[in-house]
């Protein structure tokens, strides 16, 4: 006879004895199981159930820590009333008096503690892996290995070599011990769900772009735009340039190329614009060969439905907003105003302030 079968028989026999003993013992057992109990002094208590741990030792541990009043009666209830469902591994929080059935319900459902982590828009997959690991969610190299496999998006983007652009930026909640595979799958599944529900439906009926092209454009928009209201306009500027065969001249694509070569130090310089990389949109017209970051939903929607604007150029006002232009002459004037005169004035004001300081 196996140990499990023996335990079943012993518990069944004990239950029969309890019932046969009359109302007093049966009432005590029922009352013990259904009386809210809190034997720990902490405001809340964290307890970890280990993978592979058997139910008996789980309940004994919970009794020792003051979560359960009687582990043996609770085990009897689990087997005879609930028919011995598995108790899930993980970290649990107990914060108030609870009956034995309530504790068992939490363990059977796997109502484990989860911890939030926010992935911001515009990170590369390498930066995403580093951020997750730094926050305690997995090993960086294992995460990166998962992200370098394109299998999860093969149906949507068969040309992708990795998950760049498909790790959706959002706030997630993961339980302690969640695997790197599960974490990356959650990020990709969120992207796929939102792309299907919020992006594909707004495409024009005559739009013949692939999902990959939309994601690439969205990733460039994500790195250029700071204001949500400007994202469709910037997408419109790039769409106009693509239709006319004009190079995008997008600094973020050059920065991405520098990152891939391990040469990015936080500053882009004029010689960098001559870097021979297919991601350098100063040298190679058209979209870069792949996404350069993880775009958020606003950028994805902007890329799916760019604004119909006459603009071909834009330049930063240095406050997160941009000035747009339709002609090169107008653009050069804007560049002079916002990239030359603006900074000359700022530097002059700063020099004056420093000179006036005692």
Beta-strand pair 313-316/45-49: unpaired
Name 277's bridge partners.
Answer: none
Name the pLDDT band for 1 (thresholds 50, 70, 90): very low
pLDDT in tens, 114-173: 999 999 999 999 999 999 999 999 999 999 999 999 999 999 999 999 999 999 999 999
Rounded to 5 degrees, what are φ and ψ at 219? Answer: -70, -35
Share above pLDDT 90 across residues of the chain, in percent, rounded to a whole number: 80
pTM equals: 0.84
pLDDT in tens, 283-327: 999 999 999 999 999 999 999 999 999 999 999 998 999 999 999
Name the pLDDT band for 177 (thresholds 50, 70, 90): confident
For residues 96 and 193, membership in a common domain is answered with no
Beta strands in the chain (DSSP E): 45-49, 90-94, 114-118, 171-175, 313-316, 322-325
For residues 231 and 320, membership in a common domain is answered with no
For residues 99 and 125, membership in a common domain is answered with no
The Cα–Cα gap between 221 and 301 comes to: 10
Domain assignment of residue 169, yes or no: yes
Beta-strand pair 171-175/45-49: unpaired
User: Is pLDDT of 23 > 90?
Assistant: no
Total tally of structural domains belonging to the chain: 3
**SS3 string of 17-52?**
HHHHCCHHHHHHHHHHHHCCECCCCCCCEEEEECCC
Name the pLDDT band for 20 (thresholds 50, 70, 90): low
Task: Give the helix/strand (H/E) hosting 109.
Answer: helix 100-109
User: Is pLDDT of 18 > 60?
Assistant: no
The Cα–Cα gap between 152 and 163 comes to: 8
CB 99, CB 81: distance < 8 Å: no
> Residue 142 sits in which domain range?
113-245+288-309
Alpha helices, DSSP H only, in 206-291?
211-224, 231-244, 251-260
For residues 94 and 142, membership in a common domain is answered with no
For residues 10 and 153, membership in a common domain is answered with no
For residues 210 and 134, membership in a common domain is answered with yes
For residues 299 and 320, membership in a common domain is answered with no
């Amino acid at each position: 006879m196996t140990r499990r079968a023996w335990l079943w028989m012993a518990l069944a026999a004990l239950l029969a004895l309890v019932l046969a003993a009359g109302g007093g013992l049966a009432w005590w057992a029922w009352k013990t199981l259904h009386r809210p109990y809190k034997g720990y002094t902490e405001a809340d208590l964290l307890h970890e159930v280990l993978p592979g741990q058997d139910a008996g030792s789980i309940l004994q541990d919970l009794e020792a820590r003051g979560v359960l009043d009687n582990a043996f009666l609770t085990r009897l209830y689990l087997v005879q009333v609930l028919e011995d469902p598995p108790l899930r591994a993980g970290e649990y929080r107990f914060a108030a008096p609870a009956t034995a059935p309530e504790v068992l319900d939490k363990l059977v459902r796997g109502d484990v503690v989860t911890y939030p982590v926010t992935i911001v828009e515009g990170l590369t997959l390498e930066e995403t892996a580093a951020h997750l690991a730094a926050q305690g969610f997995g090993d960086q190299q294992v995460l990166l290995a998962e992200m370098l496999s394109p299998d999860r998006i093969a149906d949507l983007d068969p040309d992708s070599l990795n998950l760049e652009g498909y790790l959706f930026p959002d706030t997630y909640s993961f339980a302690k011990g969640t695997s790197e595979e599960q974490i990356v799958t959650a990020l990709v599944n969120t992207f796929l769900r939102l792309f299907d529900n919020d992006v594909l439906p707004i495409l024009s009926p005559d739009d013949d772009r692939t999902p990959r092209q939309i994601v690439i454009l969205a990733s460039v928009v994500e790195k250029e735009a700071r204001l949500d209201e400007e994202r469709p306009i910037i997408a419109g500027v790039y769409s106009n340039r693509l239709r006319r065969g004009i190079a995008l001249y997008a600094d973020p694509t050059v920065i991405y190329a520098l990152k891939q070569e391990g040469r990015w130090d936080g500053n882009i310089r004029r010689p960098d614009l001559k870097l021979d990389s297919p991601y350098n949109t100063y040298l190679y017209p058209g979209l870069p060969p792949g996404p350069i970051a993880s775009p958020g939903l606003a950028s994805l929607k902007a890329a799916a439905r760019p604004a119909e604007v006459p603009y071909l150029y834009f330049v930063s006002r240095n406050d997160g907003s941009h000035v747009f232009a339709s002609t090169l002459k107008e653009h050069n004037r804007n560049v002079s105003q916002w990239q030359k005169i603006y900074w000359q004035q700022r530097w002059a004001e700063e020099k004056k302030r420093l000179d006036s300081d005692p």
